[in-house]
Structures are given as structure tokens and as C-alpha cells.
Amino acid sequence: MSIREQASRGFGQGAAAYERGRPGYPAEAIKWLVAELHLEPGRTVVDVGAGTGKLTRELISSGASLVAVEPVPAMRAVLEQAVPAARALDGTAEALPVADASVDAILVGSAFHWFDGPAAVAEFHRVLRADGRLALVWNRRRRDQPLHAAISTIIEPYRSGAPSAYRGEWRAPVVSGGLFAAVAEREVAFEQLVDADGLVDRVGSTSFIAALPDAEREPVLARIRALAADYEPPLRLGYINEAYVYERR
């Protein structure tokens, strides 16, 4: 199974768990992104690899026109119900269904590491207006936290080549081509409070776990549920929200 196939199958099968189990984005980080991207009425922003709209929905209050691009039908269906204010489109980061120089800002939430970096960056450059801005955002699990460390021990043997933002390999294509200049970056620590069901959904929404055959996935999720019993509820999952802003050259 290629990485793209793994993403399509995993996120397709795990769309409902993704919506239930993935954390949103902290208000402090959203406020900063809205300011850095100059989001306001009259401006257009595209959320690329929008998933179920976890990031898209946080941008509604900015007043900007929202376009959400998501290639996995099951994810896009959830997005359309959850964020009816956004225009949801089928498409990929490497072939956006958007006209040249037609948008003011692009955001990518927890997805850029899945893209063909150079192709996606070139496509972002094509659709952004002059001086348009790009924001790449991740909610990174605090792997130094005992609960997250225990989760990693259970799930990492199943990764099978799935990309990870933790290694930082995504950075090179963003800055190496000379199409974008770094503007700002910011980190915000936050917690997600979940019960046992929420923990199972959080792990079950991980692409390479969701993509497993039922006979393999269910024992993994049973181990996660058993892990939850070792902690006092609510379970506290620690994250670092990382945001990087670039300007089109």
C-alpha cells in the first residue's frame, strides 16, 4: 500500500472517528493565524487537506470567504455537514481546483507532510495573489507525556512508512524553491480532555491504524481501551500547536 493509498483508505474508513476524536485548534493559535493571514470580510482563504473541517470551522468568525479542499469523500461529507458556511471542493494540494492568483491565504492543518512538497508549494504559489500568505499548522502530540508515550509504543509498529511531521522533512520544499519567505512561527501548548471512548477514537483516526484490516485494528484499539483504564478520567492528552507562516514571493 502506497502512502497515498494508505491516507485515502485510512482517512476514509476513519472519518467518523477523526471527527469525534481529533482535537480542534486552540483559540489563541487561531487568533494569531487570523491576524497573520489578514483574514477579514472580502478576503478568500483556502484550507487544503481540510479533512472534516477541524481547522475550517475555526475560521468562520474571521468573516473571510472559506474554501475547503479535501480529496477523501468520506472526510468531505463530514466537513460539508459540520461547516456548511465553507465551499467544499474535491481536490488535492498538488492540483487545486482554484484559479490562478485568486486567493489571499492558504492554510494546511495537520496535512502538509502527506503532500508531494515541491508540487504542492508550486501549486500554492500559483493560486495565491501577490503577497498572499501560507500557514502550515500541526497539533503535535506531547510524546514526552506518559500517556502519549504509551500510545506510541502500541501504534508505532504499524506505521509502515506513513509520513510524520515530527521529523521536519516537510520544511525543505517550502523554503528551498524561493517561492515563499518565512514570516513568523508560534507554539501554543494545550490539552484535549477525553474519556476512554474518546481515546479510542483519537487513536482509531490515525491513518495507518484506521487502514488496518479489522482483524488487526480491533486488537490495537482494545489495547488502547485497556490503557485508558490505567488513568484517572478525564484523560489529558497534551499537544503543542505549531504554526508557520510564509509569504508568497
Neighbours of 144 (CB within 10 A): 8
Is 2 a residue whose pLDDT tops 60?
A: no
The pLDDT tens digits of the residues spanning 20-32 come to 999 999 999 999 9
Instruction: With respect to residue 148, please indicate whether it lies within any of the assigned structural domains.
Output: no
Range of the domain at 69: 3-142+163-191+238-248
Contact 70, 115 (CB under 8 A): no
C-alpha cell at 162: 506513513
Length, in residues, of the chain: 249
Instruction: With respect to residue 111, please indicate whether it lies within any of the assigned structural domains.
Output: yes
The pLDDT tens digits of the residues spanning 113-168 come to 999 999 999 999 999 999 999 999 999 999 999 999 999 999 999 998 888 888 78
Rounded-to-integer distance, Cα 25 and Cα 14, Å? 19
Instruction: With respect to residue 221, please indicate whether it lies within any of the assigned structural domains.
Output: no
Is 241 a residue whose pLDDT tops 70?
A: yes
Rounded-to-integer distance, Cα 207 and Cα 182, Å? 29
Instruction: With respect to residue 46, please indicate whether it lies within any of the assigned structural domains.
Output: yes
CB-facing half-sphere around the CA of 60: CA atoms within 13 A: 11
In the block, cell 484499539 appears at 221
Neighbours of 178 (CB within 10 A): 8
Chain mean pLDDT for the chain = 95
Instruction: With respect to residue 171, please indicate whether it lies within any of the assigned structural domains.
Output: yes
Is 6 a residue whose pLDDT tops 70?
A: no
CATH of the domain at 29: 3.40.50.150
* Average confidence (pLDDT) over 68-93: 97
The residue type found at 97 is: P
Instruction: With respect to residue 88, please indicate whether it lies within any of the assigned structural domains.
Output: yes
In sequence order, what are the residues at sequence separation of 6 or more whose Cβ sits closer than 8 angstroms to the Cβ of residue 202?
17, 21, 22, 23, 192, 194, 237
Rounded-to-integer distance, Cα 2 and Cα 8, Å? 10
Nearest to 76 by CA among 140, 138, 23, 18: 18
Task: List strands edge to edge, sheet with 103-109.
Answer: 87-89, 65-69, 44-48, 103-109, 128-141, 235-248, 180-194
pTM above 0.75, yes or no: yes
* Average confidence (pLDDT) over 54-72: 98
What pLDDT is recorded for position 4? 63
The pLDDT tens digits of the residues spanning 188-216 come to 999 999 999 999 999 999 999 999 999 99
* Average confidence (pLDDT) over 82-107: 98
Instruction: With respect to residue 147, please indicate whether it lies within any of the assigned structural domains.
Output: no
Is 3 a residue whose pLDDT tops 50?
A: no
Number of domains present in the structure of the chain? 1
Instruction: With respect to residue 219, please indicate whether it lies within any of the assigned structural domains.
Output: no
